[in-house]
Amino acid sequence: MTIRICVAGATGWVGKELITAICAYEASEKFTLSAAVAPSATGQDIGQVLNLASPGVIVSQTVTDALASAPTDVLIDYTHPEVVFDNIKTAVENKVCAVVGTSGLTSEDYEKIDALARQHGVGVIASGNFSLSAIWMQRLALQAAKDFSHWEILDYAGSGKPDAPSGTARELAFRLKEINTPTWDVPLDQVQGPKATRGASVDNSQVHSLRIPGFILSTEIIFGHADERLTIRHDSGTRAQAYVAGTLMAAEKANTVKGLIRGLDRIL
Ligand SMILES: NC(=O)c1ccc[n+]([C@@H]2O[C@H](COP(=O)([O-])OP(=O)(O)OC[C@H]3O[C@@H](n4cnc5c(N)ncnc54)[C@H](OP(=O)(O)O)[C@@H]3O)[C@@H](O)[C@H]2O)c1
């Protein structure tokens, strides 16, 4: 049975690639584009906007309008940190499953989404990074964390990224918390000098976000033992195709779960 997908962020860097991929699947009927959301293209045919063979889907201004326009099984959100929470809430309250690609949500936001999804009996799958090689970075870090008591996370992105830390770094910190608790030889509240230079505590890990032109997104974790270090790092490239396969995998699995799953590896 085809999975009917609404893409929020249809004109964006990732959204465009997702819609292209979904349209390519239409012949096999595995996925169908049911609706699309992008304020700048409201009222236009997304096929014409993206220069694709027309899927005949008119772009909506909001997720509420999009879900009212056509029956939908899954909302995929790649929009903006300011709107993602409300978009997911709208989907769940309409008993539509959701896949969260957009960054910016905190662990507390995810707890609320989990409760809401359970209340409405639908599944939500979120991943700070849907690329399969970033999942390896996370997996290796989770393994290493069993054996180290000292680590810190570096989060690099371009200067225009509105949110910090990245979804990749947030999720890494969240998952590390389930494995082990890092320690500091100088407690953070006893640091001499500006304490902010030691980074921000995110789910017990210190995270340092750099926003510099030239980066797309890189995430690095440095573990230390006395007199040695282990560094694990993932670097994203300039193309958004890397996120498509993992995102569509999540769309396929979303209606098989109830509540929130945070981490693509948990459905692989
Ligand atoms: N989890 C992952 O693997 C992953 C990978 C890449 C990116 N991301 C995250 O995904 C998000 C989107 O990234 P991107 O690079 O694709 O962004 P982008 O190119 O800026 O595209 C954003 C999209 O969201 C729409 N949008 C912006 N503000 C909106 C609003 N208030 N309401 C509804 N739609 C709105 C834009 O529509 P308009 O045309 O109307 O502006 C556009 O279609 C970011 O948070 C990014 O960090 C996550």
Q: For residue range 151-204, what is the model confidence (pLDDT) as tens digits? A: 999 999 999 999 999 999 999 999 999 999 999 999 999 999 999 999 999 999
How does DSSP assign 125-166, residue by residue?
A: EE-S---HHHHHHHHHHHHHHTT-SEEEEEEEE-TT--SSS-
Based on the fold, state whether residues 97 and 7 are members of the same structural domain. yes
On the CB side of 7, CA atoms within 13 Å amount to 27
For residue 65, is pLDDT > 90?
A: yes
Distance 225 CA to ligand 1 centre (A): 39
Average pLDDT over residues 251-265: 97
- For residue 1, the model assigns a pLDDT of 85
Atom 37 (ligand 1) nearest CA: 38
Based on the fold, state whether residues 102 and 185 are members of the same structural domain. no
Which of 59, 65, 80, 239 for mutating ligand 1's site (highest number of atoms within 8 Å of CB)? Answer: 80
Average pLDDT over residues 235-244: 96
For residue 26, is pLDDT > 80?
A: no
Q: In the chain, which residue ranges form alpha helices assigned H by DSSP?
A: 13-25, 46-50, 63-69, 84-93, 107-120, 132-145, 167-177, 244-253
Distance 113 CA to ligand 1 centre (A): 19
For residue 27, is pLDDT > 80?
A: no
Based on the fold, state whether residues 151 and 220 are members of the same structural domain. yes
Q: Could you read off the pLDDT of 36-47 as tens digits, one per residue?
A: 999 999 999 999
The fraction of the chain above a pLDDT of 70, given in percent, is 100
- For residue 159, the model assigns a pLDDT of 98
Strand order in the sheet with 74-77: 59-60, 31-37, 3-8, 74-77, 97-100, 123-126, 259-262
Based on the fold, state whether residues 173 and 110 are members of the same structural domain. no
Q: What CATH number is attached to the domain comprising 139?
A: 3.30.360.10
**Contacts of residue 122, Cβ cutoff 8 Å, sequence gap at least 6:** 91, 92, 95, 96, 97, 98, 254, 255, 258
Based on the fold, state whether residues 221 and 244 are members of the same structural domain. no
Based on the fold, state whether residues 23 and 79 are members of the same structural domain. yes
The total number of structural domains that make up the chain: 2
Q: Could you read off the pLDDT of 178-192 as tens digits, one per residue?
A: 999 999 999 999 999
Distance 160 CA to ligand 1 centre (A): 13
Q: In which band, very low, low, confident or very high, does the pLDDT at 55 lie, cut at 50, 70 and 90?
A: confident
The mean of the pLDDT values for the chain is 96
Distance 12 CA to ligand 1 centre (A): 5
For residue 245, is pLDDT > 90?
A: yes
Based on the fold, state whether residues 106 and 143 are members of the same structural domain. no
Based on the fold, state whether residues 9 and 116 are members of the same structural domain. yes
Closest-lying ligand 1 atom to the alpha carbon of residue 128:
1
- Residue 97: domain span: 3-129+240-267
- For residue 8, the model assigns a pLDDT of 98
Atom 2 (ligand 1) nearest CA: 129
- For residue 25, the model assigns a pLDDT of 83
